[in-house]
Each structure stands twice: as C-alpha cells, then as structure tokens.
Amino acid sequence: MHKKVAVILSGCGVFDGAELHESVIALLRLDQRGAQVQCFAPNIAQLHVINHLTGEEMPETRNVLVESARIARGNIKDVREAKAEDFDALIVPGGFGAAKNLSDFAINGANCSVQPDVLALAQAFAAAGKPVGLICIAPALAARIYGEGVICTIGNDEGTAAALEQMGASHEECVVSEVVEDAQRKLVTTPAYMLAQSIGEAAAGINKLVDRVLELASHA
C-alpha cells in the first residue's frame, strides 16, 4: 500500500523560503518510492524577500503559500487544511524559510517559536507516533515539536548546534551523506545544505532520510 506523506514548504528560494534542491530531491525520492504526496505551506507573509542574485533585501512582500506553489506546480494547500490522521509521515525541507517563515529561529535563535499552524500539525504527527523527517536547518523546529531530549542533527555547525541544545534538543554531529534517527520519537534528520557542497552531496543524505521515513511508516 502506498504511503501518504505530507510535505511542508516554506516559500521558494534558499535565502527566504524553501531550498529548491532539497525540496525537489525529497519530492523526487518520494515519487520514486511510490509515495502519495501532498504539499502544504502556511498562508502567511514571508519575513522578507531576498534578491537571490545579489543577496540584498527587496522592498516587496510575498506570500509563503503562493511562493511554495511554484515548487509544488500549484498542487499545494494551506497547512491549516492538513490533518495528521490523513497521512503516514511528514517531511520538512530546509532553506532559510524554515528559520524565517515556519519559525523565527533566524531572528530569535534558542528563544524562537514555531508558526502556530505548522507547530500544531507537526505535534499531531509526533503525538500519533508517525515518522517525521526534518532536513537541513528544519531540525531547529525539533525541540519545539518534541520537547526536551529530542535527538537531531544539523551537521556540525557549533553555533547552530549550541542553540538547538539550549532549546532542549540533543544534537549529534553527522556527515552530509548520513542521517540521525531518534528511534523513540521516529524523527529522522540530515544536514543537506548545512554541509553539502553540491546537489549530489545533498541528495545522498536526503534520499536516505526519505527511505528511512517511509520504512518507519511501513512498520507503524
């Protein structure tokens, strides 16, 4: 039986939204493994808009759901419509959108909060014992979702790892091609572009994450 997987996107573009490569790699691997996927995003304004050519902030506003629709080819819903009971697993790609739109980790670090609709959905998956995969910087959400002691990785960046531990997470260093699993919570994380120097390097860990999340979903 095909597994149903919810994917939360956070915009479109590494500096102010979902990381394109990470999102597409995850969606491709899910498709290759026969999963049925529905993308979601919060229907909110982005923190800001970055010119990806120059790195400078632009004097405009964009909507996270509308921008995420670019990646999902229009097949996307407001995260408020998502129900954990309709899915077997949840995956959240990285990109600064995870730290700027799905949460305010980029601004407030260890004192961050998660966007309420995103938090409610992720916590529903956690409460139901369903597997979750967090990619790149998205594990910054882990402690808010699962609470004290959750095991996760963002690779080996000391400052980010320290912030995660301050929030209550237990950080494990991890190479780009591998994953870290919290077996008790069925949480799988991988560094992706926190460490990756190429799309191939990012894919190595993301593919393992998707495979493991689907494997855990099969055991449920």
- What is the per-residue pLDDT across 108-127, written as a single tens digit (0 to 9) for each? 999 999 999 999 999 999 99
Is 136 annotated in the active site? yes
**Beta-carbon contacts of residue 7 (< 8 Å; ≥ 6 apart):** 23, 26, 27, 30, 37, 38, 39, 40, 90, 91, 92, 93
What pLDDT digit, counting tens, does each position of 140-198 carry? 999 999 999 999 999 999 999 999 999 999 999 999 999 999 999 999 999 999 999 99
| Catalytic member of 12, 39, 112, 136 | 136
On whether the pTM is more than 0.95, the answer is yes
Does pLDDT of 220 surpass 80?
no
Report all structural domains of the chain as residue ranges with CATH numbers, in order of start. 4-219 (3.40.50.880)
What pLDDT digit, counting tens, does each position of 22-47 carry? 999 999 999 999 999 999 999 999 99
Identify the band that residue 219 occupies on the pLDDT scale cut at 50, 70 and 90. Answer: confident
Q: What is the pLDDT of residue 20?
A: 98
> What whole-number percentage of the chain has pLDDT above 70?
99
Q: What is the pLDDT of residue 1?
A: 66
Q: What is the mean pLDDT of residues 56-72?
A: 98
Tell me the C-alpha to C-alpha distance, in Å, between residue 15 and each of 10, 187, 193.
Answer: 11, 25, 12
**In degrees, to the nearest 5, what angle opens at C-alpha 64 toward C-alphas 58 and 66?**
100
Could you tell me how far CA 186 lies from the centroid of its own chain?
15
